[in-house]
Each structure stands twice: as C-alpha cells, then as structure tokens.
Structure 1
Amino acid sequence: MGTRDRILDAAEQAIHEYGMAGATTKRIARLAGCSEALLYKHFDGKEALLLAVLLERLPALGPALETLHKGVGQGDVVANVTEFALAAVDFYTRAALIASGLLGDPSLLAGFRAMLAEQGTGPHMPIAAVAGALAEEQRLGRIDPGIDADAAAALLMGACFHRANLSYLVDLAGEPGPWAASIVRTLLRR
C-alpha cells in the first residue's frame, strides 16, 4: 500500500475515532506513519484530504449512478431506482461524520466549498444525474410523463439523506429496502 492510500486510511480512521475536530493532520500523519510534510505532498490541505476520503473511501455514488444510467430502459424501473436509493442511503450514512464536521467548522467549510466550486462538483451533482435518468425513463414511457423529474430526484435524494441522518438519532425499524421501494413507488406513481 502506497503512502497516499495509508494517509487516506488514516484519515478515515481518525474521523471515525476522534470526529472531525480531532482528526487533525498531525494525528492523521501519525496514524499513517508519515510526517505532516509528507501528508501535504499528497494533499493540498485538510479539505482536499476530506474530499478524497469522501470520493475514494466511502461507498461512492458514482458507481451507483452509473448502474442507474446503464439500467435506463432495462429491467424494472422501480427496482433500478430503489437499488440506487439504497446506495445513496449507505453513502449519506457513512458521509455524515465528515459532513457534520465540515458544517461545524466555518473555515474548513469555506475551504471545502471553494474546492468543490473550483472542481465543478458538489452534492447537487447526483440530484441532476438522477433527474437525467428519470427524464430518460419518461421519454421511454416507463414512468409517468407528468412527474417533474428534477423534483422527484431532489425528493428522492432528500429522503435518502434524511433516513441516513435519522439512523444516527433513532433506531430505525426494519431493513431499508422496503422503505426505499415505497419511496420510489410513491415518487414514480407506481
């Protein structure tokens, strides 16, 4: 395992063990078995390191979005969107520790927002991608043409985000699969 991977593993470990405030670059470097200077050779700052953890270590939305788009016009549309919703809940559940730490640190949040803007990415991108898949399913006549694809995508992602955050505060009964399928059927009028 290379140094960059060790640093990413250490950052994820530090976040889970110490929270965002305690996941200092000094602590991350120590857990990775390297110097802070070496950490900064691989990452421009803590913001870049956190983005890399989000994109490379958490269950990514990218592959789930790719699967959703590849499934357009194939199989059962409710099942396809439900599978994506479950991946989104998993992502948001795992990302909550990083997101809450970012929200609690104004300077870190400002740097993270600037980095996302510079890279042309952010949490709005999956919503747009889901909306695109839903619009294509509409074009193919597989879901109700009266649905606002943008609104349905935003509602789906919002529901996934909400369930993930609720899971930290209350014990949610049952598996998320039936919940996700019900949400999807309601949104798609199926």
Structure 2
Amino acid sequence: MTRDAAAPLTGGALTRSRILDAAATLMTAVGLTHTTTKQIAREAGCSEAALYKHFRNKEEIFVRVLHERAPQLSDALERLPRHAGDERGPAGHLTEVALVAVRFYRRAFPIAASLFASPELLATHRRRLHELGTAGPQNATQHLAAYLEAEQALGRITAGVDPHAAALLLIGACFHRAFLDLFFDSEAPPGALRPESEEEFATETVRALLDGLRPPGAP
C-alpha cells in the first residue's frame, strides 16, 4: 500500500512523516550541506528534540528521504528478477525500470549533489548506509543484471552479452537523462533532449538496448 493510500497518520508517525517531507523540500532547494536539523524541525513544525526522537542525525534523515520520498527505484529493481520469463517480457519490465530510474535520479540529484563536494560527508554517508543496512547505489545495476541473467538462461536474451555491462548501459542512460532534465530546467534548446518525453526516452532506450540483446530470430 502506498503512503498516500494508507490510513491517515497520527502521533509520532505523523511527526516523522512531516520531518521527512520538510527535509525533502529543503534538501531539494538548498542541498544536503546547507540544510540543518534546526531548519528541518522549523519547516516540519516541531522541535529539534522531537526530530531527534525519530532520527539520529541529518545523514539518517537524508537516507530515509531517498528511500521513502523519492520514486522507489530500489523496490522496482528488487522485484525484477522474480518476473523473468513472464508474459510481459524484457521490453515491458525494462521500460518500467527506465521510467522509475529517471524520476528517481531527477529527484535525488539536487539532494545528493553536495555529498560529492565533501569527501568527509561522503564517507559519513557511506558509513550510515552500512549502519542502517541500506543498499548502496551499486544495487541498481546488480539487481538489473540478475534479471538479465535470468532472461539469458531462458533464451530470451542472447548469451553473448555481459548482463552487467547491459545493466550499466540502461542505468547510465537514465542517470544522464535526469542530469540533462535538471541542467536545462524546462529551457532545453531544440534537439537537446531526444527523445523529448520521458516515456519516449524509456521506450526508445530500451528498444535500442534490446536490439543488441535479442537472440537471432527472436520476436
């Protein structure tokens, strides 16, 4: 059940949700480095003491924002290997992943960009991921490669292609498309974004990838 479809939140759950919403808004606007817990608490309408009842520090809030407020790329990819061989086929599943990936990276870029300006902050973030038992960015390509390997075993993808390289091609294309969307901010010059819509991008990128993965004679 999605957060929007669930029963209304109350008490501590409502406070926690407001904190994450406030953090997502602030981190998107000014970045992780320039967002403080005091600002998050003020935006959420609670005290800093209340904030620390739910989260140990700003880094934990950041991780939870990515996992609970950004489009759920990790969820889509974790489910993917179980669908190998079904009637939807690689084209349908990979197109869905491409759409989710573009939306995830578009949301995550502004929040996470400041991580890479500070080696110390980035190292802290890596430690927090480990402490929280949360998947790192490598899991995107690993889950996608596992799905492609399963489809290879079924003969629906050619055996001569490295599934990890193919996974990197798709995830990398989505990452770059999100970057371009943010860079141009609805002011892209003619021809800068081809295909233009994200739906066309997902469909055509997957089509181009699968043309190189499809076994001879396969539909």
TM-score of the pair, normalised by structure 1:
0.91
Q: Deviations over 1:123-166 (max 9, x none)?
A: 00111000000000111111111110011111211111111111
* Cα drift, residue 16 of structure 1: 2.8
- Structure 1 CA distance, aligned partners of 2:146 and 2:174? 18
Equivalent position of 2:156 in the other structure: 142
Paired residues for 1:62-141 under 5 Å = 62-74=74-86, 75-118=88-131, 119=133, 121-141=135-155
Equivalent position of 1:158 in the other structure: 172
Letter in 1 for 2:169: L
Equivalent position of 1:43 in the other structure: 55
* Cα drift, residue 104 of structure 1: 2.5
Which runs of no fewer than 5 residues in structure 2 stay unpaired?
Answer: 1-8, 215-219
- Structure 1 CA distance, aligned partners of 2:112 and 2:134? 18
- Structure 1 CA distance, aligned partners of 2:23 and 2:45? 12
Equivalent position of 1:60 in the other structure: 72
Q: 2:54 matched to 1:32?
A: no
Percent of residue pairs identical: 48
Q: 2:178 matched to 1:186?
A: no
Q: Tell me which stretches of 4 or more aligned residues in structure 1 moved more than 4 Å.
A: none
> Which of 18, 21, 30 pairs up with 2:33?
21
Provide the secondary structure at the position in 2 that maps to 1:80: helix
Larger Rg: 2
- Structure 2 CA distance, aligned partners of 1:125 and 1:178? 25
Greater shift, 33-42 or 172-181, is seen at 172-181
The number of residues matched between the two structures is 190
Q: 1:37 to 1:97 in 2, by over 3 A?
A: same
Which one has a larger percent helix, Structure 1 or Structure 2? Answer: 1
Q: Deviations over 1:90-142 (max 9, x none)?
A: 11111111110222333332211111233252000111000000000111111
Letter in 2 for 1:179: F
Q: Deviations over 1:50-74 (max 9, x none)?
A: 0000000111113322453343212
TM-score of the pair, normalised by structure 2:
0.80
Greater shift, 14-23 or 116-125, is seen at 14-23
CA RMSD after TM alignment: 1.8
Equivalent position of 2:24 in the other structure: 12
Provide the secondary structure at the position in 1 that maps to 2:160: coil
Letter in 2 for 1:159: A
